[in-house]
A and B are shown apart, each in its own frame.
Chain A
């Protein structure tokens, strides 16, 4: 593997919901051809997602409400503009409600 490829792999990190797996560098690929690392096929066909248009490091949790904030705006409002605009019941008109009964237990 040449230096360029090695540097490339060093900048690539993989994370899942598993804390143990987060922030571990992805190991270099096993397959090597002509001295150049073979990039896993799945990565080579990846389409970069644009959801991370905001800066994650700017998110702060409000100490009182414990809600994520970006500046003076709740994060969910910032994200709401980036994600779906169609969160309706199957009739296409009624906004999905979160008012489900609360179980005290």
Chain B
């Protein structure tokens, strides 16, 4: 297949190769005959081309080795898990920073400025939604009950907080995948034993602490166009009630 030889994609799917969640959606799009193009913006500098012209509105083309999209025909962007921009070899660090910045503002700038394009979801709103301090404020504003929460880099504040609420947990302030010594991991929510309330590592950066809320399971809710889809998550292991 060459660019332009098949149906023109009306849906752009921004994600890396390893994304099983997107795969489920894309299988459905295939079944329904929706022309889409799965592309990783991380390939932009090496394998993708963009040419857009502004004359009152943006028009142009984004193309790759197998597919391309006419910006005028684009109707939706499914923004999943794009990887970072990879820069050509041989650039200095300063040049790489410049190249990534240019690429990001060109690609996301032109696409976000297109009219009649549905974003699922808008990157800026996703960025806001990831911030736990913001989540708590929004949840409280919506009338939900929220746990007592402390964000601090002072161990003595954690000690006082722990004495106030009894049992406390800590969770990372953002979704973090950590790679270290050939291992990949995520930072799970964990209960903080009293012996660690004064841990010196707390002073290394800001941390989030919350009162422990006993429960049997948690609920993940997805909101789509006025409808709520609730899923109960029931843990299989003893640590589950804390870390899910």
Chain A interface residues (CB < 8 Å from chain B): 8, 11-23, 29-31, 33, 38-49, 51-52, 56, 59-61, 63-68, 74-76, 78-80, 86, 90, 98, 102, 105
Contacts and interface: CB of A to CB of B under 8 A. Distances in A.
A19 B42 contact: yes
Interface in B159-205: 170, 172, 174-181, 183-188, 190, 192, 196, 199-205
B100 A40 contact: no
B11 to A, nearest CB: 11
Q: For the complex, would chain B's binding face be called helix, strand, loop or mixed by DSSP majority?
A: mixed
A40 B83 contact: no
Nearest to B9: A66
Interface residues of B, number: 65
B20 A40 contact: no
Interface in B39-83: 41-42, 66, 75, 81-83
Interface stretch (B23-31, B132-140, B142-150): B23-31
Contacts of A18: 123, 127
Contacts, number: 154
A5 to B, nearest CB: 12
Q: Which 6 A-B pairs have the closest CB atoms?
A: A22-B84, A29-B204, A48-B185, A41-B201, A66-B38, A79-B20
A73 to B, nearest CB: 11
B234 A31 contact: no
A98 B26 CA distance: 12
Please indicate which of the listed interface residues A11, A19, A63, A68 has the most CB atoms of chain B within 10 Å of its own CB. Answer: A19
Given A59-B17, A102-B32, A47 B188 contact: yes
Nearest to A11: B180
Interface string B1-22: 1000000000001000111101
Contacts of A59: 17-18
14 contacts: A12-B180, A13-B179, A14-B178, A16-B175, A31-B201, A33-B200, A41-B170, A42-B205, A47-B239, A56-B18, A66-B26, A66-B37, A75-B18, A76-B27
Nearest to A98: B28
B23 A76 contact: yes
Contacts of A15: 84, 176-177
A40 B205 contact: yes
Interface string B112-128: 00000010000100110
A41 B202 contact: yes
Contacts of A20: 84, 100, 104
